Structure 1
Amino acid sequence: MDKKRAQTINPDATRRSTEYGLKDLWIEFSQTTGLHVVDKIKPPSCNPFSIRGLVWILALCSTTGFLVYNLVQEIGSYYSYPTVTKITPQIKHSLNFPAVTICNRCTFNNTRLDVYPDMETYFFNISLGRIRKNSFSHLTSDVFQKPVSLEWLRNMSMEGSKMLFKCVFGGDDFDCMTDFQPVFTYEGLCHTFNASKIVLTPGDDANLIVTFNINQDDYTFTRNKAAGIKVFLHHPDVHPDASSTVLTASPGFSTHVAIQKTEFRYQPRPYMAFDDTDCLDTNSPDFVNPLRIYSLYTYSHCFMECVYLKAFKQCGCVGPYVPVDGLLCSLVKLDSCYNPAVRSLSKNGTFVKECRCVSECVFDRYTAQVSSSSFPADKWGSSTMKATRAKDRASLESNFLQLKVFYDQMMVTSITQQPQYTVASLFSTVGGQMGLCLGASILTVAEIAELLLFIIIFLLDKCRGRKARNRISNW
């Protein structure tokens, strides 16, 4: 009877005991969460804050602020896409031999040009820069004014069969004209060794050895005024003019070219491959070659095509070293318009920016260490003269040279750009920061998210007059 009387006298006592508030949510959260310090902080409505509680609140706020600051820094660094560069020397059991293009420093044969009057005088004046655009009017012959043909250029150039005297690869002789293919470059008609050879051993006697006869007696006047050969080392699918490794060799010497191969692997967008510029992922399935002249995209091919097409717009024709059909310039147009335009545009820094060429992300480069010695030695002078049919020792030294191109060691240097951050490393860093500052984990974040969800449900139910405790307890 006393209990019933008490309930009748104070009916709100039972109702208040069943009320469920935000402080109850906090108490349940603090008792079950793995988050540090929270269990030491109690709501004011439950128990007034003590000095100890205030200290723990201050500690929680400071470590939370420190955590937020670090997380902002880490996420900002992640979205700036930083990279690290890894350099790895790799020993190989076999290596692909690069394409080797050899050009005589004078590609025109004077004995063949003699059939055309004024031809030698023409080249002499061109070489000295004496002829300008308005000085070609007297050259009325078809050979000067009509578009040149590749066949005519081949007939007027040095014969490869006479220049390439002896060829050896891997210690075995081979027919020079079988593996050396003619190709037109800015230097003229050259010959490329591009047989996709595999190298199994390094050394100056184990790879390519070529004995070359430059035939100085057949030289005519050229702009470079030099005698010897020019050598390009490049990828088999890259045009020789696009080669980054160029060297020269002189007659009377045996020139040794020790090559090393370096593989470059950069990250495509959104990473910056070259400090402040990105690269083009030519290996992507979605990549479409934007070039019209060259089937393989490289930065050099892109820039060369840009220069050649601009010069074509100015002159209405192209040089024989541009791999397109038709539209070839005449000798007069070539020397008065097209070649000067190419030289001018290639050195124009503003035009380089206008081309907007982007480097490819994956490419190879060959570096070379060059040394030379006298060729042939005095002891071998007489026998070499007999083999080469040189007139005398002076003629031998003025026309013949030996070129050795070889890997000095079976090693490839790989320079690989890697992301500094990955998703896994970012989560590891964030998790480490959370664990250091708050003793939290991903599951703790889930607990906080659950608390926020319950608060929202509580407030919504409170507004609708529903019992929040029942709904939350049913979850």
Structure 2
Amino acid sequence: MSLRDNDLFYSPQTRFGFIGESPEACEVNHTDLPQDDGIEAAPVTISGVPAILSKQTHWARRISWAIVLIVCFSITLAQCYERILFYLSTPVTVNVQIQRNHSLRFPAVTVCNKNVYNLSNLQTLLAIRDIDGVTVATRLNERNETPTLAHVVSVGNMTSDAVWTNTAHNIHLMLIECWFGRGMTCNMRGTWKAIYTVAGVCFTYELKDGTVSTSGMFNNMYMKMTETTPIIKSSEVGWKIHLHDPKDIPVLDIQTHGFTVLPGWSKDVRLQIRDVADFDACMTGSPAFDLLVQSTK
């Protein structure tokens, strides 16, 4: 049988196809093909395992690594077992309830002028004459000193409380408008009181009943403020406002909490009140556990 050009010949031994060749040219020496001696395993990256599996490693080193791995694996299993038992021994029950309140507690609002004291009131105190008939301002000008509150403490036998009170800002002059709800002023719903803080004399507003029944921008507190006294430092302008629980007195918190409102700017503040109670159900006989039991009956 003769082969023509472009004939396809298949060798039963090799299953290779050739075009235009004779059967003799299709013989393949199988000894030239690479022999597969088996699949080589990928190198193990766990420390100590290659040393244990290698036959060239000394037997003492192989035994040492085997002991170390067995001990570490045993410790890992023991820790996992102990954590599982601890988790199963303290069951956690989560009870989520959504309650639609008819009223919400309104926080106290503390307002501080960033000027620690009223410069106009301070100048009035500096005009008081001492026993020699000389004003404090005159003596300070002679010594080229800048007037501060410390210079008027002894004027007229005033105490430090009296100095702070006489140099405090007037909240009613700072507030151009103050509304609480539609058609109700802030004085109709609550009261302002002066408190002494690290930022000077501030003023805290609290509601008389402490709760509100409506929400929204036009249903709660609206304040419009202005600066009525000279600025002591250009870097200290505006007002510091802090919202807090009515039970708290922000003597120190006014320095680190709250926000600043600068002249000519507006600030819209929205609150979301959450009441979270944490009960330790594992302590039987404790007040927290008794309260939890009573609340679930």
TM-score when scaled to structure 1? 0.33
SS of equivalent residue, structure 2 residue 258? strand
Whole-Å separation in 1 of the counterparts to 2:272 and 2:104:
11
Give the structure 1 partner of residue 272 of structure 2. 260
Whole-Å separation in 1 of the counterparts to 2:152 and 2:199:
26
**Does the CA contact (< 8 Å) of 1:102 and 1:229 recur in 2?**
yes
Whole-Å separation in 1 of the counterparts to 2:181 and 2:152:
52
Structure 1 residue 110: Cα displacement: 0.9
| Higher relative contact order (CA closer than 8 Å, sequence separation 6+) | 1
1:172 equivalent in alignment to 2:193: no
Whole-Å separation in 2 of the counterparts to 1:87 and 1:237:
27
Give the structure 2 partner of residue 153 of structure 1. 164
Whole-Å separation in 1 of the counterparts to 2:220 and 2:85:
52
Q: Residue 104 of structure 2: which of 87, 95, 99 is its match?
A: 95
Distance 1:75 1:246, change over 3 A: same
**Does the CA contact (< 8 Å) of 2:118 and 2:167 recur in 1?**
yes
Gaps of 5+ in 1: 1-69, 127-135, 272-280, 285-417, 419-475
1:113 equivalent in alignment to 2:138: no
Matched letter for residue 221 of structure 2: L
Q: How does 1:361-376 map to 2 (within 5 A)?
A: none
SS of equivalent residue, structure 2 residue 275? strand
Whole-Å separation in 2 of the counterparts to 1:71 and 1:220:
68
Distance 1:84 1:102, change over 3 A: farther
**Does the CA contact (< 8 Å) of 2:168 and 2:201 recur in 1?**
yes
Whole-Å separation in 2 of the counterparts to 1:167 and 1:226:
23
SS of equivalent residue, structure 2 residue 215? coil
1:231 equivalent in alignment to 2:231: no
Q: Residue 194 of structure 2: which of 177, 182, 189 is its match?
A: 182
1:210 equivalent in alignment to 2:223: yes
1:76 equivalent in alignment to 2:89: no
Distance 1:248 1:199, change over 3 A: same
Matched letter for residue 259 of structure 2: L
Q: Deviations over 1:239-281 (max 9, x none)?
A: 124478511112223321111112232345979xxxxxxxxx9
SS of equivalent residue, structure 1 residue 191? strand
Whole-Å separation in 2 of the counterparts to 1:237 and 1:180:
15
Whole-Å separation in 2 of the counterparts to 1:173 and 1:164:
15
Structure 1 residue 163: Cα displacement: 1.3
TM-score when scaled to structure 2? 0.51
SS of equivalent residue, structure 2 residue 204? strand
SS of equivalent residue, structure 1 residue 179? strand
Matched letter for residue 265 of structure 2: F
Give the structure 1 partner of residue 60 of structure 2. none
Structure 1 residue 188: Cα displacement: 1.2
SS of equivalent residue, structure 2 residue 269? strand
Whole-Å separation in 1 of the counterparts to 2:278 and 2:109:
26
Whole-Å separation in 2 of the counterparts to 1:166 and 1:210:
6
Give the structure 1 partner of residue 174 of structure 2. 163
Q: Residue 230 of structure 2: which of 216, 219, 242 is its match?
A: 219
1:104 equivalent in alignment to 2:113: yes
Give the structure 2 partner of residue 197 of structure 1. 210
Greater Rg by CA: 2
Structure 1 residue 108: Cα displacement: 1.0
Whole-Å separation in 1 of the counterparts to 2:87 and 2:271:
39
Q: Deviations over 1:121-164 (max 9, x none)?
A: 144xx9xxxxxxxxx9xx69725xx8843233111111122112
Q: Which has the higher helix share?
A: 1
Matched letter for residue 209 of structure 1: Y
> How many aligned positions are there?
189
Whole-Å separation in 1 of the counterparts to 2:242 and 2:282:
34
Matched letter for residue 186 of structure 1: V
SS of equivalent residue, structure 1 residue 194? strand
